[in-house]
Structure 1
Amino acid sequence: MANIESPTAKKLLHAFMQFRKTGWHDKKIAGYNPSEFKVLATIEHGANKHQTEMKVSEISQQLKVTPPTVTQIINTLEKDGLVERTIDPNDRRAVKIKLTPKGLKAAQKAREAFTETFLGLIDYLGEEESEQLADLLSKVHQYFQQLNR
């Protein structure tokens, strides 16, 4: 195993630090913070699968976050008129969430903006290097997953 004094280890560490400093994962997407975008996209994805409404628990499972976290985000999206809540007629304790027409437009706009960012990266790197980057990032993910076990 290489030690931290190795030029390759230093270069890799520097690259990770620089990448983190860009804050790309914290930036708003079409005016929505990343967590709002993820919730909108999850509900939109459910609607595309003919599941027009989703429970908070379903959203939280898909996003791998707690239901209270999703509830806070839903509260904000509801205030903005992007989602609405309804009581599940089969289980009056359960609340279903669905996108409003405004929310559907917002989710589509945000998804397009998100996609444009990655299409721009592909244009910048080229197809071949983009494929290599995707493969390498998958390997990095696998490595860190193994470390966390």
Structure 2
Amino acid sequence: MSIPNADADGVLAEQLLRLTRRLHRIQKQHLEPVGITPAQSRLLRTVSHYPEPPRMADIAARLEVVPRAVTSLVDALEESGRVRRVPDPTNRRVVRIELTDDGRTTLRALRNARRGAAEEILAPLSADQREVLGGLLSALVDGALERKC
């Protein structure tokens, strides 16, 4: 069993950070025509994954942010017509967030923007290299999830 080289791990960590920053920049460029911020995009995707409209506290927990941050995002998305606040049918003090038709249209545009960003960043890789990278990234993500649980 070999001991990982700390210098090599440091270089790899730096490469991953640079790649992450580049990915964020490219995604932001692809999101600009949609007229939405990356944080608003995350909120829309999060809301879309719930079987019924979630509470703002549910969204905050899923996004791992404070509830006030969700309120600001929902305010902006509601103003643009992409989400709406609806009363909870069982507890009138609870407000739920649901996607509007414009919100669903925006999600489709976001998927296209993300696909375009992915194509741009992965362009230098062959299909085989992409498959290997996917396996490596899955191993890293799965390992992080196992430690978190």
What TM-score results when the alignment is normalised by the length of structure 2? 0.74
RMSD: 2.8
Call closer, same or farther: CA 1:41–1:145 in 2, change over 3 Å. Answer: closer
Give the letter aligned to residue 39 of structure 2.
Answer: S
Equivalent residue, structure 1, for 2:24 = 25
Deviation at 1:119, TM superposition (A): 4.3
Unpaired segments ≥5 residues, structure 1: none
What TM-score results when the alignment is normalised by the length of structure 1? 0.74
Unpaired segments ≥5 residues, structure 2: none
Deviation at 1:148, TM superposition (A): 8.0
Equivalent residue, structure 2, for 1:78 = 78
Deviation at 1:75, TM superposition (A): 0.9
Give the letter aligned to residue 138 of structure 1.
Answer: S
Per-residue CA distance 1:93-135 (angstroms, 9 max, x = gap): 1001111221221122112211333245555422221121122
Call closer, same or farther: CA 1:138–1:103 in 2, change over 3 Å. Answer: same
More strand by share: 1
Deviation at 1:140, TM superposition (A): 3.5
More helix by share: 2
Alignment of 1:43 with 2:42, yes or no, is no
Give the letter aligned to residue 91 of structure 2.
Answer: D
Residues in 1 aligned to 2:116 and 2:67: alpha-carbon distance in whole angstroms: 30
Identity %: 26
Residues in 1 aligned to 2:17 and 2:74: alpha-carbon distance in whole angstroms: 32
Q: Secondary structure at the match of 2:49?
A: helix
What is the correspondence of 1:1-149 to structure 2 with a 5 Å cutoff? 1-5=3-7, 8-9=8-9, 11-22=11-22, 24-25=23-24, 27-28=27-28, 29=31, 30-46=34-50, 49=51, 51=52, 53-121=53-121, 124-141=124-141
Residues in 2 aligned to 1:110 and 1:65: alpha-carbon distance in whole angstroms: 22
